[in-house]
């Protein structure tokens, strides 16, 4: 099975002082993809252990539709603070605004139906379309664009993208971090890579390093962070999409019978 354990926002307790714009490396172990699905992919909150052992569980949302992570997989990540960083140094892409918009969208998922969570997740993935098309992910962008509207969704993914662009600046990003595998090609290196336009899955591309896992956004609940311009209350619906499958391969987490 494949899953885009993407969408991913880490709600975790951080030990010690909060990282600066870019932190020291932190170990993560992927725990599970959650239970909400859309288009046969897991969407919404995923979970990972932060640091050695299993004491600290992080809730994560994937922002990366183009790489994978597997249940039980261990990786080291750089943490980039969205509260202090202005340029992506160790992130896959250099546009910090896109990550802030993605972080904003993750705050809108609480209390939503599975269809709305899936649509918001699609909006997060779509935020990076222009960048991904430029660097050679055209096929994957087309795949994402082909996902049919979800029955029961109150809005389209385009609506949520517009909401993010309009409202993210009113949000406090204290405690929000981009979690990037240390093996991922960062934006600066990718721009100078001779093969940075190579399509995903083809060896030799700096940006598409096959040894790296998906990129996520993490929120440390012990530090804070709030949204001062929430969406209208009329859009809040309640529901759930429950489907538990263990031992999956995560990118778009694809379910199989």
**131-160 pLDDT per residue, tens:** 666 655 666 677 888 889 999 999 999 999
193 vs 43, which has greater pLDDT? 43
For 197, other C-beta atoms within 10 Å of its C-beta total: 15
Q: What is the pLDDT of residue 21?
A: 52
Quick check: 178 and 215 in contact, CB under 8 A? yes
Model pLDDT for residues 111-126, shown as the tens digit of each residue: 999 999 999 999 999 9
Which are the contacts of 118, defined by CB distance < 8 A and separation ≥ 6? Answer: 36, 37, 38, 39, 41, 43, 44, 150, 153, 241
Q: What is the pLDDT of residue 153?
A: 96
Q: 194: pLDDT confidence band, cut at 50, 70 and 90?
A: very low
Q: Where are the domains of the chain?
A: 2-254
Q: What is the pLDDT of residue 217?
A: 93
Average pLDDT over residues 184-212: 51
Question: In sequence order, what are the beta bridge partners of 180?
Answer: 78
Q: What distance in Å separates the CA atoms of residue 241 and residue 245, rounded to the nearest whole number?
A: 13
Q: What distance in Å separates the CA atoms of residue 49 and residue 57, rounded to the nearest whole number?
A: 5
Q: What is the pLDDT of residue 9?
A: 39
């Amino acid at each position: 099975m494949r899953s885009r354990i993407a969408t991913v926002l880490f709600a975790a307790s951080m030990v010690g002082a909060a990282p600066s714009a870019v932190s020291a490396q932190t170990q993560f172990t992927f725990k599970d993809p959650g239970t909400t699905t859309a288009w046969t992919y897991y969407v919404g909150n995923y979970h990972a252990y932060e640091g050695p052992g299993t004491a600290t569980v992080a809730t994560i949302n994937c922002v990366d539709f183009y790489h994978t992570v597997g249940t039980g997989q261990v990786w080291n990540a750089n943490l980039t603070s969205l509260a202090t960083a202005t340029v992506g140094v160790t992130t896959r892409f250099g546009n910090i605004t896109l990550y802030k918009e993605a972080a904003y969208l993750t705050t809108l998922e609480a209390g939503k139906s599975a269809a709305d969570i899936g649509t918001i997740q699609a909006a997060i993935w779509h935020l990076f379309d222009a960048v991904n098309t430029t660097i050679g992910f055209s096929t994957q962008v087309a795949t994402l664009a082909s996902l049919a509207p979800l029955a029961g969704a109150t809005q389209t993914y385009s609506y949520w993208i517009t909401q993010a662009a309009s409202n993210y600046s009113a949000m406090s990003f204290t405690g929000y971090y981009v979690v990037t595998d240390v093996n991922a090609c960062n934006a600066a290196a990718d721009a100078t890579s001779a093969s940075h336009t190579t399509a995903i899955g083809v060896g030799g591309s700096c940006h598409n390093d096959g040894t790296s896992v998906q990129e996520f956004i993490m929120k440390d609940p012990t530090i804070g962070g709030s949204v001062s311009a929430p969406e209208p209350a009329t859009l809040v619906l309640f529901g759930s999409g429950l489907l538990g499958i263990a031992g999956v391969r995560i990118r778009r987490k694809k379910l199989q019978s």
